[in-house]
Structure 1
Amino acid sequence: MSNASNSIDNEKLIEINESIRFHSIEIIGDELRQHMTSMKKAL
């Protein structure tokens, strides 16, 4: 990342996003969100 600007290489950003997206915590969170979305409201 350049100090002169806040730009970042798109390829590097994609690589970072993929590493976050496929982290075990994110995978569990995605599964949890899917279950919560399919639940009916209690009230």
Structure 2
Amino acid sequence: MRLNNRLASASVSVSQVQDVYNNIEKSLMVSLKRTEMSCLQVISLLCN
């Protein structure tokens, strides 16, 4: 019984870590897209 509880707890912990990682990854991708768009805008302004 204790082993099952520990396994269940470990499983929840791994799931939480994966959720945090996925959220960080999404945030970084959004930031990267914004930076990319900003760079394109600057290049566009410089070229015109």
Give the structure-1-normalised TM-score: 0.39
| Larger RCO, structures 1/2 (Cα 8 Å, 6+ apart) | 1
Give the structure-2-normalised TM-score: 0.35
Q: Which is greater in Rg?
A: 2
